[in-house]
A and B are shown apart, each in its own frame.
Chain A
Amino acid sequence: MSAPAAAAPVTFSDAQLAEVRRLQALYPAPRAALLPVLRMAQETWGHISPAIEAYVGTLFGLSAAHVHEVVTFYTLFFPRPVGRHVVAVCQNLSCALRGAEDVIAYLEGRLGIQAGETTPDGRVTLLRVECLCACEHAPMMQVDDDYVGPLDRAGLDRVLAELR
């Protein structure tokens, strides 16, 4: 999920543009399609750079500033590049009560980075996040699309081994 060369111009493909129009027509007001379109841009380019924000703005008749507001507001939109895998560890109450800090400390040690950073080889971005609402599996984390928990060292080692 890493970004392509910075020199490439930012535009959606024709098929993607058709999807943008479909989404804009689906809702009572076209602006409602902004979140799904931003997600589509992030899935395409890995993160949402200022150039992409400006581009998406043109698709909606929105100033780039207003797109930037939306991108910086939501945790799941990444304004800066992230690793091929995003490991988001819950640090909220139920997980904290069951060892979330140990999990984070262990991962930071194994990956050699602090939470909030990306490994130098671009493999993993480690994040602290708030409640993912899977407290029955505390301590838990989200690895890309999947919830994983309860976590122990063996389990964490297994997960890390599978992240290429």
Chain B
Amino acid sequence: MEPILSRHFDRPEARTLEGYRAAGGYEAFRKALALGPAGIAAEVKKANLRGLGGAGFPTGTKWGFIPQKRTGPVYLVVNADEGEPGTFKDRYILERDPHALIEGMLIAAYAIDCQTSFVYIRGEYVRPWRVFSEAAAEAEAAGLLGPDILGSGFGHRIIVHRGAGAYICGEETGLISSLEGYKGWPKVKPPFPAIRGAFGQPTVVNNVETLATLPHIVARGGEWFAGLGTKTQGGTRLYSVSGHVVRPGVYEAPVSITLRELIERAGGVPPGRRLKAVVPGGASAPLLRADEIDVSMDVDGLRAAGTMAGSAGVIVMDDTTCIPEALHVVARFYAHESCGQCTPCRECTGWIYRITGRILAGKGVPADPDTILDVARRGAGSTICAFYDGAIGPYISYVEKFRAEFDHHIRHGACDVRPNGGPARAAGH
């Protein structure tokens, strides 16, 4: 398969503006200027581009929510707060193909009539921040950013804003709150960001990879992009594969690839082990068992399979994995990262984490797995943002699909999976 999004990842020369241009960079932006905002939006809609940060929302539709009648600027906010466990593809784009992101941003900004964009980079990404900032400086020096770019009359500037360590700042309104200088508390909706977002203005929040896809869509056409994928989602995407695989890394594939094929490309599980379970779309995606991996990795295919494409973070677990311990690790993450603003998430992420800890410590009671399931289900759809809906993905799927393992821990106070037996080693905060 011809690399598209990943074509520059192993070509350090393409990271400079000169190298990027030599490879044809910024020609798509020129073409976008000629297409005009409506033309760009049409191509993006034709492309069936779905958001690649986690929600899978159609990008063209999202742009269309910006009201025609408005006062004040429109802002583009780039969500570079990559944080979904198992996901690292945005980091690759920031570090290895920063100009692709800048070019994509310019195309999107031009399409939505935006003169100022903010790139919110998670605080831990130091090298990616330096590389990207350098690329933005290069672009500005070359007149690709600033007033009147390429004589088009369109001006644009990028403000790079570093996060300070909070997964919830990857939620679009949590990100906006953080950008505005507050705690990363997601905002009550309505109003939605397209109507009132950053600094009270109409705002589009797009993921890094989603934007990096735009130069290709504009250059080769939305129809071409759509044809690479399924009927409802076009193109390729970058899958981050990690966990118990021989070759963890970023793998670009059409969205129609199956999970089995993807795992095989990453070398499968280590020799002598068997596949047990896979998280297909970042930690928030419900687990799939080893017998459920013949599923197409597009947004709608995975939704039909009872899970989600999310951020395309694929975490592979072989038969040395204790699922209750894995749930404890994931539950710890959600308890740690809950912003605490609304009742269901604040209280239940902590509670469920403590239940899993008690199970691993050999002090589980028979009602515990049903308590986890009931508490998780009761909170679905009840919160300010989808963080808790993400949390209940693993809460429910790990317990439902591996109930016997939980019951064993509770009945025997020990693990029957790990070679050493005894209480699991996952420690507390």
Direct contact of A and B (CB under 8 A): yes
In the assembled complex, A64 has its CB within 8 A of some CB on chain B: no
Q: Assuming A76-B124, A134-B88, is B181 touching A93 (CB within 8 A)?
A: no
Is A93 a contact of B248 with CB atoms below 8 Å? no
In the assembled complex, A130 has its CB within 8 A of some CB on chain B: yes
Is B86 a contact of A91 with CB atoms below 8 Å? no
Listed by A's residue number, 6 A-B pairs whose Cβ atoms lie within 8 Å are A28-B116, A29-B199, A74-B165, A104-B427, A133-B82, A145-B126
Q: Assuming A29-B199, A101-B427, is B83 touching A131 (CB within 8 A)?
A: yes
B86 to chain A: which residues have CB within 8 Å?
A: 93-94, 131, 135
A44 CB to closest chain B CB, in angstroms?
16
In the assembled complex, B162 has its CB within 8 A of some CB on chain A: yes
A139 CB to closest chain B CB, in angstroms?
11
B423 to chain A: which residues have CB within 8 Å?
A: none
In the assembled complex, A138 has its CB within 8 A of some CB on chain B: yes
Chain-B contact segment, one of A5-13, A33-41, A118-126, A155-163: A33-41
In the assembled complex, B336 has its CB within 8 A of some CB on chain A: yes
Give the contacts of A79-122 with B (CB-CB under 8 A).
Answer: 88, 91-94, 96-98, 101, 104
In the assembled complex, A70 has its CB within 8 A of some CB on chain B: yes
A73 nearest CB neighbor, chain B only? B183
CA distance A70 to B336 in the complex (A): 16
CA distance A76 to B427 in the complex (A): 22
Is B315 a contact of A74 with CB atoms below 8 Å? no
In the assembled complex, B383 has its CB within 8 A of some CB on chain A: no
Give the contacts of B298-343 with A (CB-CB under 8 A).
Answer: 313, 315, 317, 321, 325-326, 329-330, 332-333, 336-337, 339
Chain-A contact segment, one of B106-114, B145-153, B213-221, B238-246: B238-246
Is B244 a contact of A133 with CB atoms below 8 Å? no
In the assembled complex, A2 has its CB within 8 A of some CB on chain B: no
Interface residue range, chain A: 35 or more
Contact with A along B120-148 (1 / 0, CB 8 A): 00111111000000000000000000000
B168 nearest CB neighbor, chain A only? A73
A29 to chain B: which residues have CB within 8 Å?
A: 180-181, 199
Is B240 a contact of A96 with CB atoms below 8 Å? no
B8 CB to closest chain A CB, in angstroms?
18
In the assembled complex, B70 has its CB within 8 A of some CB on chain A: no
Q: Assuming A97-B244, A135-B85, A142-B124, is B329 touching A91 (CB within 8 A)?
A: yes
CA distance A105 to B84 in the complex (A): 25
Is B159 a contact of A26 with CB atoms below 8 Å? yes
Besides A27-B159, A36-B161, A93-B333, 17 other A-B contacts (C-beta < 8 A):
A29-B199, A32-B180, A35-B163, A35-B178, A69-B183, A74-B164, A76-B124, A93-B279, A96-B326, A101-B425, A128-B429, A129-B124, A131-B83, A131-B84, A131-B87, A133-B91, A136-B242
In the assembled complex, B253 has its CB within 8 A of some CB on chain A: no
A102 nearest CB neighbor, chain B only? B425
Is A96 a contact of B181 with CB atoms below 8 Å? no
Q: How many residues does chain B have at the interface if contact means C-beta atoms less than 8 Å apart? A: 62
Contact with A along B392-429 (1 / 0, CB 8 A): 00000000000000000000000000000000011101
A26 nearest CB neighbor, chain B only? B159
In the assembled complex, B235 has its CB within 8 A of some CB on chain A: no
A98 to chain B: which residues have CB within 8 Å?
A: 243-244
B119 to chain A: which residues have CB within 8 Å?
A: none
A110 CB to closest chain B CB, in angstroms?
17
Is A94 a contact of B165 with CB atoms below 8 Å? no
In the assembled complex, A3 has its CB within 8 A of some CB on chain B: no
B162 to chain A: which residues have CB within 8 Å?
A: 35-36, 39
Partner pick for B91 among A77, A92, A134, CB 8 A cutoff: A134
A136 to chain B: which residues have CB within 8 Å?
A: 88, 240-242, 248-250
Partner pick for A73 among B123, B166, B249, B317, CB 8 A cutoff: B166
CA distance A106 to B126 in the complex (A): 26
CA distance A76 to B126 in the complex (A): 12
In the assembled complex, B258 has its CB within 8 A of some CB on chain A: no
B87 to chain A: which residues have CB within 8 Å?
A: 131, 133, 135
A14 to chain B: which residues have CB within 8 Å?
A: none
CA distance A39 to B330 in the complex (A): 29
In the assembled complex, B262 has its CB within 8 A of some CB on chain A: no
A62 CB to closest chain B CB, in angstroms?
9
A35 to chain B: which residues have CB within 8 Å?
A: 161-164, 178, 181
B170 CB to closest chain A CB, in angstroms?
10
B405 CB to closest chain A CB, in angstroms?
15
B250 to chain A: which residues have CB within 8 Å?
A: 136
Q: Assuming A92-B85, A138-B248, is B164 touching A31 (CB within 8 A)?
A: no
B85 to chain A: which residues have CB within 8 Å?
A: 92-94, 130-131, 133, 135
A131 to chain B: which residues have CB within 8 Å?
A: 83-87, 167, 283, 333
Is A91 a contact of B332 with CB atoms below 8 Å? yes
